[in-house]
Structure 1
Amino acid sequence: MTDVAYESVSGTIYLVERSQNCSSKRYSEFTVRTKSSIHFNSGGLFTSFHQVLRHQLLKFFIITSILSVFYFYIRLHTWRLPWILSLIMIQLISFIFRTHRKVVSETLLVVAGFGVQTTTTFLSGKQYTHFIPWSDLIDIIIAEAITMQQVLFYMCLLVRSDSSEGPELKPLFMHTWPRLPCLNYIYCKCQVVLASSPERSKL
């Protein structure tokens, strides 16, 4: 297992974890985690749901305290009670929504001869998993997207499609957005696994 620190497009530090069967080089797993989901201790680095939730609750209470001072300053406590309760409910709903939608890690698992699996883990503990059979996988590539202000690089799975439009691109790490050095690291290791399977058909 190898832990390497990189940066994302937004500038936040992410961690890439790689697990590989060195004897056969037919298996690689990469996990890109947000910095807030990494908890340090004497034994190393690990992801703790409770630590991340505690961090989110701390931010919530800080924001709530600031808003409470502001509300007292504008004499909100003299307003009607339904208005105050409405503001409190809006703030609570906003916190629950942001916590539920927050992604803490994205995982790419490549197993030669079997397939590719992607897993997105949310702060709430929910996981979204997608599997692509080995026979449908053509290649793993790094693509680029040009915006008004910058050029963004992202990793894609090149997958066979039933339509006549040709292969389909399935983007990876769309929530964590690691930068090009991190993508190159993952790409090189994935190509080792892909090359270890001579039966894989190509375009």
Structure 2
Amino acid sequence: MAERLAFLRGGHAEEALLVGWICLLAHSLFVPVLPLVPALGYLVAVARATIDDESALPPVDLRALVSDGAAASAVCLGYGLVPLAVGAVTVSLASGTAVDPTGGASPLFLLGSTTTLFVVLAGLYALPIALCASARGGIRAALPGRPFLRVAGHAAYFVGWTGGVVLFALGVAAGGVVERLPVAGPVLAPLVRWVVVLAATRRLAAAYRAAR
């Protein structure tokens, strides 16, 4: 883990931590969702720097944070539509129209829930590829194509994606533990989550670079 966090020793580390901390803090305590847009924009900059094989964190450009964050949000929304649609169908099946007469779960509901799980996993697997591609080539580069499929099928990306997901899960868990601390917990938890998200972003972008 110490090696994963070595990037925090760079020259722009303090401003990178501060901007993310403020965004996540505003999201959790004041205005939900909206502050996540510039935070996502900085993650795009981190991914771009990592793909370019830069070891240090990039400087904070507030104007670029908003524009990159808005574009990345559109990519996330686009890749989230199919899982949301499949999930909505599954929920409708569970609303009472698909109840098994024997009292068990309907086969249609079981099929829908299983399909939803696989579609969500596929979306989570594909989304970092789309975000990394858009970080270098614009929002059109996020569309699936031959280069997209080549990265998705590469072993280096699969290993990196798995490592990034594990890091992200550790960050969520660590943030939850810190958040339970009295007084300072809700303030420090976003910082803990942001540090781990930065590490996970670099891991995913490095995997994308290796698989291109």
Under a length normalisation based on structure 2, what TM-score does the superposition of the two structures give?
0.26
Higher relative helix content: 2
Higher-Rg structure is: 1
Higher relative strand content: 1
The structure showing larger relative contact order (alpha-carbon pairs under 8 Å, at least 6 residues apart) is 2
